[in-house]
Amino acid sequence: MGAAEIRRCGAVTQPDGSVTWRVWAPKVKRVELVLIDGDRRRNVPMRAEGDGYFTHSDGSVREGQRYVYRLDGAERPDPCSRWQPDGVHRPSSVVFHAKFAWTDRGWRGVPREDLVFYELHVGTFTTEGTFDAIIPRLPELRDLGVTAIEIMPVAQFPGDRNWGYDGVHLFAPQDTYGGPEGLRRLVNACHAHGLAAVLDVVYNHLGPEGNYAGEFGPYYSDRYRTAWGAALNYDGPGSDGVRDFILDNVRHWAEEYHLDGLRLDATQSIFDISPVHITSEIKGVADRAAGPLGWPFHVIAESLLNDVRIVLPPEQGGYGLDAEWNEDFHHALVAFLTGERHGKYVDYGSAADLPRVLEKTFILDGRYSRHRGRRWGASARDVSGDRFVVGIQNHDHVGNRARGERLAALVGPPVQRLAASLMLLSPHLPFLFMGEEYGETNPFLFFCSFGDRGLVEAVRRGRKNDYALQGEVPDPQATLSFTASRLNWSWPDGSPRAGLRRLYRDLLAARRRW
């Protein structure tokens, strides 16, 4: 499918300065657009286009115009909202994307084999917790040898503290991070500093609060279930609209935010028995959308399946993505270096795993996994190392512990240096979690700021059930869980932290010379 065939929804600004709203609402007989200006409200009937789409155009709309859709009665924000200036539950807002003055015309991107990822969480990377606050740190990341920042999900989520995987407005950069303009300034600055910007996007589920999509259309499958609730409907009745929703989102991030790539969250939970899997279509749409920009666009799967079909070309039955995660690398190293054997680490820990994961990529290549309770994975065959992303820390492995300990809180500087060396000298694409390069010891805890009391209690119970054996579990809803997770961003001269950071820089420099 070509990007041009995707039905674009949301409040889309046109070349003539007008705004066209389009909403996919096949569950609804009648949709009105409600334009909100302070206390003034205008209800405008939308024209049915067929196939459940409704549209309306207006030539005299200004930036920031608030609006909602009225669906057979209830008023709801736009599932394709570009901006939620007042949070997930409140009205959507019009954004004039073309207004932004991009200065990255000369940017040529980063080839896949040169990717070195630096994962950061906007809310805790700086004290300010905004897109703009990241910009002053970009030169230090570039100096370190990082070539791409990977931004944890920014789709509008409930409240102002969240890892990002509870996002509900997939087109709207989080208001408390700085919204659309903030993200654009960050990406533009990345390019100015010679860094690529990759965004983590969640296409396997939608968040549990402020999620009204199900009132508009058949967004959810009645056939599949994910660990986070209902799976998105990629192959059942009405799935054309859901697929277009996601593919338009991909196009949106490429065209309108100039991103260099997307990291697809938990692709093993993107269930799709269609002849062409949605992740494969995502890659096609991304390439076509990014083509005119003049740099390569990387689509990377967080797949936990140890299955190279993710990166094999379609003619070999693959999805054709650029790279996939290889969690075996993390587990093998961390189990060996820390001695931990709980949970996912039960399948790892032998010294023999270290050369194996460097040479063969997968440890679980069809062998029995006690953690999975079955044989897991398949051989990585002769797929080259630069199709796999490896790390020794990330938000999940740090944050999904009772106390959110980073590696530097578990092992001393010599072991940190060993772990870093193995990663940085591996044939795979290195992936750093913010702060690991200087041995940050602040935790990275699980945090949220839901408004729904029942949901808050459910999350608290869930975290306790999962991690109580490891010790007391901090309250995920507490502000302190968030503020305690901020980086110190400090590596005093002569300290082990400065030494570790120097090691990262030197080895990344060495990598570039091979």
Summarize as ranges the residues that interact with a copy of itself (CB under 8 A): 222-225, 235-240, 268, 271, 273-276, 305-307, 309, 312, 314-318, 366, 368, 372-375, 377-378
97-102 long-range CB contacts below 8 Å, 24 or more apart? Answer: 97/13, 97/180, 97/256, 98/13, 98/15, 99/63, 100/181, 100/184, 100/188, 102/184, 102/188, 102/258
β-pairing verdict for 374-375 and 47-50: unpaired
Residue 197 bridge partners (DSSP): 149
Nearer to a copy of itself, 224 or 504 (CB): 224
Among 73, 19, 90, 79, smallest CA distance to 53 is for: 79
Active site residue 256: no
Rounded to a whole number of angstroms, the minimum distance from the CB of residue 66 to a copy of itself is 34
| Shortest distance, position 246 Cβ to a copy of itself, whole Å | 14
Least separation in angstroms between residue 395's CB and a copy of itself is: 24
**Angstrom distance (rounded) from CA 496 to CA 502:** 10
Report the candidate in 89, 20, 94 with the shortest Cα–Cα distance to residue 57. Answer: 20
Radius of gyration of the chain (CA): 23
- ∠ CA(276), CA(226), CA(310), 5° rounding? 35
Nearer to a copy of itself, 223 or 341 (CB): 223
d(CA 400, CA 466): 9
Q: Which of 166, 260, 272, 302 is catalytic?
A: 302
State which residue, 58 or 240, has the beta carbon closest to a copy of itself: 240
Residue 48 or 312: the one with the smaller Cβ distance to a copy of itself is: 312
Which residues are within 8 A (CB) of 117 and not within 5 positions of it... i.e. 6 or more apart?
146, 148, 149, 150, 198, 389, 391, 429, 430, 431, 432
Least CB distance to a copy of itself at residue 451 (A): 30
Q: Which two tokens stand for residue 388?
A: 């796999």
Quote the least distance from Cβ 223 to a copy of itself, whole Å.
5
Cα four-point dihedral sign 373, 386, 151, 486: positive
Neighbours of 238 (CB within 10 A): 17
Among 382, 378, 409, 386, residue whose Cα is nearest residue 485: 409
Retrieve residue 211's tokens.
């999620």
- Does the annotation count 175 as an active-site position? no
Q: Which is nearer to a copy of itself, 53 or 67 (CB)?
A: 53
Cβ of residue 233: shortest distance to a copy of itself, in angstroms?
A: 9
Give me the least distance between CB of 376 and a copy of itself, in Å please: 9
- Bridge partner list, 48: 54
Give the pairing type, strands 19-24 and 155-156.
Answer: unpaired
**Could you say which of 265, 322, 436, 440 is catalytic?**
265
Task: Quote the distance between the C-alpha of residue 397 and its chain's center.
Answer: 16
Q: Report the residue number, 346 or 378, with the smaller CB distance to a copy of itself.
A: 378
CB of 209 or CB of 307, closer to a copy of itself: 307
CA distance 269 to 271: 6
Alpha carbons 42 and 96: distance in angstroms, whole number: 21
Which single residue is written with the structure tokens 């440890």?
363
Closer to a copy of itself at the Cβ: 140 or 365?
Answer: 365
How many Cα atoms occupy the beta-carbon half-sphere of 212 within 13 Å?
24
Q: Tell me the two tokens of residue 278.
A: 């949605």
429-433 and 117-120 strand pairing: parallel
Output the smallest distance, CB 378 to a copy of itself, in A: 4
Residues forming the active site: 265, 302
